[in-house]
Amino acid sequence: MSVTLKDVAQAARVSVSTASRALTGTGLTSERTQQRLVRIARELGYRPNPIARGLKTGQSRLVALLVHNLTNASFQVMAEVVQARLKALGYQMLLCIGGDDPQQESDTLTTLIDHRIDGLIVVPTGKNGAQLKALSKDVPIVCLVRRDDATDLETVLADDPQGAYLGTRHLIELGHKRIGLIVGRQDTTSGRERLSGYVRALREAGIARDYTLIHAGHFVPETGATCARKLLDLPRPPSAIFVANHEATLGVLRVTAERNIAIPDDLSLLCYEDMPWFEWHRPAISIVDNGARDLANLAVDRLLHRMDAKGNGSEGVREYRVGARLIKRDSCRQIDAPAPARSARPKSSPSKSSAAKSAKV
């Protein structure tokens, strides 16, 4: 079907081995034959067969990225970044979707190893530590976004404590004293760390912690709706809600919409992790950006480093943090101060405020 090394060798009247050496640049070949072979190979349209090469070298030029899903915007950009970087280096990305399901993760890992991938970036479920650990002897692995506590794998994490702290502090600086928090399950690292960042910011500001303002839940939109209702039904509802559970965002927005709560006039809203439409939304939604792009880039860096280092395993650093940053848009407002006087408008009626809000920009 396609041109083989043998064909090239024959055309050049040299042996296959010389051809191989000339084209891979390995070892000793005279300048002249080398160039001649390169030329002939190009003329013939020779493309090395990665499978045959892989059999001999044990490498596949395949690097896998295993994420939970493609719905989460962070995973999308990570996938795009990883693919772009790898491709530039001559690797193909094998994107796998594990659904955050341990069984599926385990199966996928197995077939990936079968395929002799050269490297793996994985967002672990946390339930297959043993397997990951075992595999890490055969192939470089980098964990992304989540740590698998059962392993000592190199891990690239978002700086969730910092992100949550930044977000909360931002709201405090705007004058908010009662800040509702909707956060992820407390048996996940991110859930715990975001809560701790929130708590720290409050403490620093000397604001007493109010447990009725803190809600943790599963990573689904429904969580957002439920928690938002609970918060808004409070005798003294919060003046701001920090949705630090990305997946819950939709639920929160639905509830505020249903109740005609104007953002940011009636309620300030700060979310976690970007979505492409947040800046198109009116009001554009302020967020804490977890740095998905940087995370992916760093993960690739670390992976490549390990792939080069070829198993001279234990270095010092095993955990990297990528800074979060605040992206201020229009969904949070200064409290106890007049709303920005951009458009002259009465202040009284609630319908007014909602109009003001949407009118903005």
Partner DNA sequence: GACAATTATGCAAACGATTGCATAAAGTCT
Partner DNA sequence: AGACTTTATGCAATCGTTTGCATAATTGTC
When asked if residue 52 is in the footprint of its own copies (CB under 8 A), the reply is: yes
Residue 23, binding choice from its own copies, DNA, none, Cβ under 5 to 8 Å by partner class? DNA
Distance of CA 224 to the CA centre of its chain: 21
Amino acid at 319: E
When asked if residue 62 is in the footprint of its own copies (CB under 8 A), the reply is: yes
Stretch that binds its own copies, among 41-49, 169-177, 210-218, 230-238 (CB under 8 A): 41-49
Residue closer to its own copies, measured from CB, 33 or 106: 106
Q: Residue 236: left if φ>0, alpha if ψ -120 to 50, beta else—which one?
A: beta
When asked if residue 220 is in the footprint of its own copies (CB under 8 A), the reply is: no
3-state SS assignment for residue 30: coil
Residue 347, binding choice from its own copies, DNA, none, Cβ under 5 to 8 Å by partner class? none
Structure tokens at 121: 């970036």
When asked if residue 91 is in the footprint of DNA (CB under 7 A), the reply is: no
When asked if residue 24 is in the footprint of DNA (CB under 7 A), the reply is: yes
Residue closer to DNA, measured from CB, 19 or 171: 19
- Check residue 181 and report its DSSP letter: E
When asked if residue 23 is in the footprint of its own copies (CB under 8 A), the reply is: no
- Using CA atoms, how far apart are residues 325 and 293, in angstroms rounded to an integer? 12
When asked if residue 27 is in the footprint of DNA (CB under 7 A), the reply is: yes
Which residues touch 160 (CB under 8 Å, ≥6 apart)? 189, 190, 193, 194, 197, 290, 324
- Using CA atoms, how far apart are residues 265 and 283, in angstroms rounded to an integer? 10
When asked if residue 325 is in the footprint of its own copies (CB under 8 A), the reply is: no
Strands (E), 165-219: 179-184, 214-217
Binding mask 89-128 for its own copies (x = CB under 8 A): -x-xxxxxx---------xx-xxxxxxx------------
- Using CA atoms, how far apart are residues 106 and 122, in angstroms rounded to an integer? 12
Contact with DNA (CB under 7 A) among 29, 128, 168, 286: 29
Residue 26, binding choice from its own copies, DNA, none, Cβ under 5 to 8 Å by partner class? DNA
When asked if residue 30 is in the footprint of DNA (CB under 7 A), the reply is: yes
Counting every residue written for the chain, the total comes to: 361
Which residues touch 150 (CB under 8 Å, ≥6 apart)? 126, 129, 130, 132, 133
Stretch that binds DNA, among 8-16, 126-134, 172-180, 224-232 (CB under 7 A): 8-16
In the chain, what's the furthest Cα-to-Cα distance? 91
CB of 117 to DNA, least distance (A): 15
Nearest one of 36, 62, 10 to 23, comparing CA atoms: 36
Cis bond before residue 283 (omega within 30° of 0): yes
Interface residues with its own copies (CB under 8 A) are: 1-2, 47-52, 54-55, 58, 60-62, 69-71, 76, 79-80, 83-84, 87, 90, 92-97, 107-108, 110-116, 138, 221, 250-251, 253-254, 257-258, 260, 262-263, 275-277, 280-282, 349-352, 354-361
Note the residues at the interface with DNA (CB under 7 A): 1, 4-6, 13-18, 20-24, 26-34, 46-49, 52-53, 55-57
